[in-house]
């Protein structure tokens, strides 16, 4: 993840949302450095503009409820039998105080 910057993300995992898949993955990475910290300490917001809703959706870690429409899907149905990966932007906070100036590398397990 780009420290203290915006980054574009796409995670092609069907039937999952940003809050129930992406945020827990980041949470686990952060807790490896400091168990008292979470994704909310590293990510300010996750923002997407899915074409099927024609508006920005913004998920705020530690604030947005899992039942909120702001908890957008990582893959959406875009027509009959057409799936579309939802690209979204994350605003990454300065995480160097947590990681000791080490960059966070996110690797996605292909079996997920």
The model's pLDDT over 93-111, given as tens digits with 9 standing for 90+, comes to 999 999 999 888 888 765 5
In the chain, what are the domain boundaries? 6-99
pLDDT digits (tens, 9 = 90+) for 38-56: 999 999 999 999 877 889 9
pLDDT at 84: 87
Bridge-based pairing of strands 43-48 and 88-92 is: antiparallel
Answer whether 28's CB lies under 8 Å from 93's CB. no
User: Taking the model in full, what pTM does it have?
Assistant: 0.89
CA distance 106 to 28: 11
Q: What angle do CA 26, 21, 71 make, to 5 degrees?
A: 105
């Amino acid at each position: 993840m780009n420290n203290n910057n915006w980054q574009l993300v796409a995670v092609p995992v069907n039937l999952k949302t940003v809050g129930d898949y992406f945020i827990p993955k980041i949470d686990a990475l952060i807790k490896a450095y400091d168990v008292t910290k979470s994704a909310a300490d590293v990510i300010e917001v996750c923002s997407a503009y899915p074409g099927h809703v024609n508006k920005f959706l913004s998920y705020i870690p530690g604030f947005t409820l899992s039942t909120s429409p702001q908890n957008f899907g990582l893959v959406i149905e875009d027509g009959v039998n057409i799936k579309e990966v939802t690209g979204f932007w994350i605003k990454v906070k300065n995480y160097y105080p947590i990681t000791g100036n080490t960059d966070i590398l996110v690797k996605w397990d292909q079996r997920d």
